[in-house]
């Protein structure tokens, strides 16, 4: 089982609308201490925000890397770090869409249904440059697709109808007091 780096510091989460959220990010080419620190901070931020995945652009960094700690259909939590992901989805008769609620830490507090394939495989390398491959169904499949999308400049709001997007923005606006600027970094107790 993959373990995630620890010892990171939660960072403020970047919101939809910031340019880094809406463009393809740079390929990770250097696997050094700076990347290791970023990955540890992504993990700390994901946990502080009570999320199941987090991409680098969600903390304002222009690099193709995401972390996840997400349950599958059986409730087993899968963890990983993926740099430069390649997403594989079922096609043809094997493609079954799962329309379930989806949310995003970069538009916190709001959830609407979003149809996605019920199975996904992601390959890439981890933060040390070692090859990784993850497959999943249910929420894990959704997470792998959602986080890979982020690295290519797509937010899940781009995948839903105008009407659903309007509802999503309204829900987020209604809950905005729960997620002030600097969240979740500035909502953590200092040690």
**Domain assignment of residue 164, yes or no:** yes
In a domain, 7, yes or no: no
Asked if residue 108 belongs to a domain, the reply is yes
Catalytic residue among 99, 147, 171, 186: 147
User: Considering the domain boundaries, does residue 61 fall inside one?
Assistant: yes
pTM > 0.75: yes or no? yes
Q: Which domain holds residue 87?
A: 19-183
On whether residue 65 sits in a domain, the answer given is yes
For residue 1, is it within any domain? no
Residue 173 known to be catalytic? no
CATH number, residue 111: 3.90.45.10
What pLDDT was estimated at residue 168?
Answer: 96
Residue 187's pLDDT is 65
- pLDDT (tens, 9 = 90+) of the chain, 191 residues, equals 578 999 999 999 999 999 999 999 999 999 999 999 999 999 999 999 999 999 999 999 999 999 999 998 889 999 999 999 999 999 999 999 999 999 999 999 999 999 999 999 999 999 999 999 999 999 999 999 999 999 999 999 999 999 999 999 999 999 999 999 999 998 654 44
Per-residue pLDDT at 2: 75
The string of DSSP codes covering the chain is: -----------PPPPTTSGGGSSPPBPP---SHHHHHHHHHHHHHHHHTT-SEEEGGGGT--BSEEEEEEE-TTS-EEEEEEEEEEEE---GGG--EEEEEEEETTEEEEEEEEEEESEEEEEEE-TTS-EEEEEEEHHHHHHHHHHHHHHTT--GGGGS-HHHHHHHHHHHHHTGGGS-TTTTGGGSPP-
Please count the structural domains in the chain. 1
């Amino acid at each position: 089982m993959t373990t995630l780096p620890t010892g990171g510091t939660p960072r403020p989460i970047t919101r939809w609308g910031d340019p880094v959220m809406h463009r393809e990010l740079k390929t990770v080419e250097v696997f050094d201490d700076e990347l290791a620190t970023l990955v540890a901070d992504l993990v700390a931020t994901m946990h502080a925000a009570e999320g199941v995945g987090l991409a680098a652009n969600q903390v304002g960094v222009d690099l193709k890397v995401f972390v996840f700690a997400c349950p599958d259909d059986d409730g087993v939590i899968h963890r990983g770090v993926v740099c430069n992901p390649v997403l594989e989805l079922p096609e043809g008769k094997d493609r079954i869409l799962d329309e379930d609620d989806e949310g995003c830490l970069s538009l916190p507090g709001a959830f609407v249904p979003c149809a996605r394939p019920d199975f996904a495989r992601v390959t890439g390398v981890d933060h040390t440059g070692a090859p990784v491959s993850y497959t999943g169904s249910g929420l894990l499949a959704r997470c792998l697709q959602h986080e890979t999308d982020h690295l290519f400049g797509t937010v899940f709001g781009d995948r839903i109808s105008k009407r659903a997007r309007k509802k999503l923005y309204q829900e987020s606006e209604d809950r905005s007091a729960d997620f002030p600027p600097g969240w979740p970094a500035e909502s953590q107790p200092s040690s």
